[in-house]
Amino acid sequence: MNREDFPLLAEGVYLDSGATTQKPYQVIERIDRFYRNENANVHRGVYELSAKATAAYEDARETVARFINGNSDEVIFTRGTTESINLAAFSFAEPLMKEGDEILITHMEHHANIVPWQLLCERTGARLKVIPVDREGNLDRKALRGMMTEKTKLLSLTHISNVLGTVNPVKEIIAEAHDRGIPVLIDGAQAVGRTPVDVKDLDADFYAFSGHKMYGPTGIGVLYGKKKRLERMRPYQSGGDMILRVTFEKTTWNEIPHRFEAGTPNIAGTIGLAEAVRYLEGTGMKKVEAYEEELMDYALARLEKIDGLEIIGSPAKRSGALTFTLGDAHPHDIAHELAMKNIAVRAGHHCAQPLMNYYNVPAATRLSLGLYNNKQDIDFLAEALPEIREKFKL
Ligand code: C6P
């Protein structure tokens, strides 16, 4: 699908889109055009260039908002999912927390959705509770229901696991949490760009994602937050652009979402992200989802047949990622051998150490898909793996 739009794919087989996706030339050229023709700071100058840059920046917000079906004043630009979750932890969650309160996360979270909450617990005396995952890699929904109590102040969970590929039924889970008055943050790093995301339909209070995992540039991401939540939140960082008026005695804050965007933003990144959104809209998210689903089924069927290969988890619904071990071969050796054959995969703990510990594997190899992959990419991988297994047989 649209493979020729991605210049770097000519270099080899790229199966590491869970880490970051390759960029289509439309995004690359849009960023180039911004620096050639529109570059100026935003929200500051009255001259034409600045007006152009400001219009492009704010248009990007509307484009992103439309893509996830949010309102533009509910879209905060950040550096990525990690910063989005930190913003929510400091500005939304911290003022709510008191000693003994609880934050729920799951056993399949990326470190970005663990550590900010741990630090928040240290600062406030709140406690982090972890919803178990079964061996297949599905969330234990019954345990989750039992763990949501009057002490729970927030539930934060991933939409799609970057290791297991588990697609969590987040809409149902959000509804259950809301029935108990618990707000929910969704880590959508692996979901946006892979599956259609409608924040209104999900009824998510917060939804965090990264531009670079959805064919946009690095260094730009989004925290979507419901207006009623954002309006009550204090700023995250402070400085220029997030203020209305500053005196040495007192500062008043800007409107949402600008209140949460201190300093000169990543203007080119934002504009590049909007171009990535247009690219995805042009292709159609339903089509992307169906295509990747078919490819994942193919990858599963091919890899399952390889002797000595063990796939971690078999979730009810899987998308994007497939992580495995292969006999006695060390995952870094596997990734290195594959790299020698021009096949890019990720090896290691995938920034999800608690999950890896649960499966008793300190490291594993992961293939992750993008819309540009095809069956031939999977074939190359599937043909290389038995050779590697033989080479590293102990
Ligand atoms: N996962 C991976 O190879 P940032 O780095 O802020 O753009 O995204 C962090 C993040 C948060 N949640 C999930 C579920 C993620 O997968 C990631 C990033 C990459 O799996 C890099 S560690």
Last residue of a domain, one of 226, 259, 282: 282
Same-domain check for residues 51 and 168: yes
Residue 92 has pLDDT above 70, yes or no: yes
DSSP bridge partners of 131: 106
Percent of the chain past pLDDT 70, that is, above it, reads 100
pLDDT(98) > 90: yes
* Domain end among 282, 297, 327: 282
In this structure, the answer to whether residues 290 and 203 fall within a common structural domain is no
Cα-to-centroid distance, 82 and ligand 1 (Å): 8
- Residue nearest to ligand 1 atom 17, measured at CA: 189
User: 276 alpha carbon to ligand 1 midpoint, in Å?
Assistant: 18
Nearest ligand 1 atom, CA 158: 14
Ligand 1: residues with CB < 6 A are 18-19, 80-82, 110, 112-113, 158, 162, 187, 189-190, 210, 346, 350-351
Mean pLDDT of 24-49: 95
Specify whether the CB–CB gap between 368 and 352 falls below 8 A.
no
- Mean per-residue pLDDT for 186-214? 98
pLDDT higher than threshold 90 for residue 365: yes
* pLDDT given for residue 83 in this prediction: 98
Q: Whose CA is nearest to atom 5 of ligand 1?
A: 82
From 282, 303, 335, give the residue that closes a domain: 282
Distance 189 CA to ligand 1 centre (A): 6
Q: How many domains does the chain have?
A: 2
**Ligand 1 centroid to residue 245 C-alpha, Å:** 37
Q: What is the mean pLDDT of the chain?
A: 97
Residues 70 and 9 both lie in one domain? no
* 190, 195, 197, 222: residue to mutate for ligand 1 pocket, most atoms within 8 A of CB: 190
Residues 293-315, mean pLDDT to the nearest whole number: 97
Percent of the chain at pLDDT exceeding 90: 96
pLDDT at 305: 97
The residue whose CA has the least distance to atom 3 of ligand 1 is: 19
Cis, bond preceding 24 (omega within 30 deg of 0): no
* Token reading at 342: 């021009």
Average pLDDT over residues 337-341: 97
pLDDT of residue 394: 60
CATH of the domain at 51: 3.40.640.10
Residue 158's H or E segment, with its range, is: strand 152-158
Residues 125 and 325: their CA atoms lie apart, in Å, by: 39
Q: What is the sign, positive or negative, of the torsion defined by CA atoms of 206, 210, 215, 220? A: positive
Residue 212 CB partners (closer than 8 Å, separation 6+): 20, 21, 80, 218, 219, 220
Instruction: Say if residue 215 is in the same domain as residue 147.
Output: yes
- The verdict on 19 and 32 lying in the same domain is no
Catalytic residue among 230, 351, 384, 388: 351
Kindly give the number of the ligand 1 atom that is closest to the alpha carbon of 350.
20
Count helices and strands (H / E) in the chain. Answer: 13, 15
Residues 316, 263, single domain; the answer is no
Residues 289 and 272 both lie in one domain? no
Tell me: do 276 and 295 sit in the same domain: no
For the CA of 351, the closest atom of ligand 1 is 22
List pLDDT tens digits, range 151-196. Answer: 999 999 999 999 999 999 999 999 999 999 999 999 999 999 999 9
Could you give the CA distance from residue 377 to residue 344 in angstroms, rounded to a whole number?
Answer: 10
Q: How high is the pLDDT of residue 2? A: 87
Token pair 């960082």 is found at: 237
Pocket test for ligand 1, best of 16, 78, 81, 111 (most atoms within 8 A of CB): 81
Do strands 343-344 and 251-253 pair parallel, antiparallel, or not at all (unpaired)? unpaired
Question: Residues 6 or more apart from 346 whose CB is under 8 A from it?
Answer: 16, 18, 19, 335, 365, 366, 368
Given the CA of residue 162, which atom of ligand 1 is nearest to it? 16
What residues contact 254, with CB distance under 8 A and at least 6 apart?
241, 242, 243, 244
Burial 173-194 (b: 16+ CB within 10 A, else e): bbebbeeeebbbbbbbbbbbbb
pLDDT of 392 over the 80 cut: yes
Segment 191-218 mean pLDDT: 98
Say if residues 282 and 24 touch (Cβ distance below 8 Å): no
Burial class of residue 243 in the structure, from the number of CB atoms within 10 Å of its CB (0-12 exposed, 13-18 middle, 19+ buried): middle
pLDDT in tens, 272-282: 999 999 999 99
Q: Are 227 and 72 in contact (CB under 8 A)?
A: no
Tell me: pLDDT of 247 over 90: yes
The question of whether 121 is a catalytic residue gets the answer: no
Q: Are residues 127 and 37 part of one domain?
A: yes
DSSP code of 143? H
Nearest CA to ligand 1 atom 22: 351
244, 137: one domain: yes
Q: How many CB atoms lie within 10 A of CB 370?
A: 27
Q: What angle do CA 92, 132, 83 make, to 5 degrees?
A: 30
How many angstroms separate the alpha carbon of residue 110 from the centre of ligand 1? Answer: 7
Amino acid 328: pLDDT:
87
The DSSP annotation for 242-299 comes to SEEEE-SS-EEEPPTTGGG--SS--HHHHHHHHHHHHHHHHH-HHHHHHHHHHHHHHH
pLDDT digits (tens, 9 = 90+) for 319-338: 999 999 999 899 999 999 99
Q: What pTM value is reported for the model?
A: 0.98
- CATH code of the domain containing 371: 3.90.1150.10
Do residues 259 and 211 both lie within one domain? yes
| Token digits of residue 124 | 């406030």
- Same domain, yes or no: 235 and 294: no
Instruction: Classify residue 39 as exposed, middle or buried by CB count within 10 Å of its CB (0-12, 13-18, 19+).
Output: middle
Per DSSP, the residues of 76-93 read EEESSHHHHHHHIIIIII
Split at pLDDT 50, 70, 90, the class of 64 is very high
The helix/strand/coil state of 25 is helix
Tell me how far the alpha carbon of residue 211 lies from the centroid of ligand 1, in angstroms.
Answer: 11
Residue 256: give the domain boundaries. Answer: 25-282
User: Residues 5, 215: contact at Cβ < 8 Å?
Assistant: no
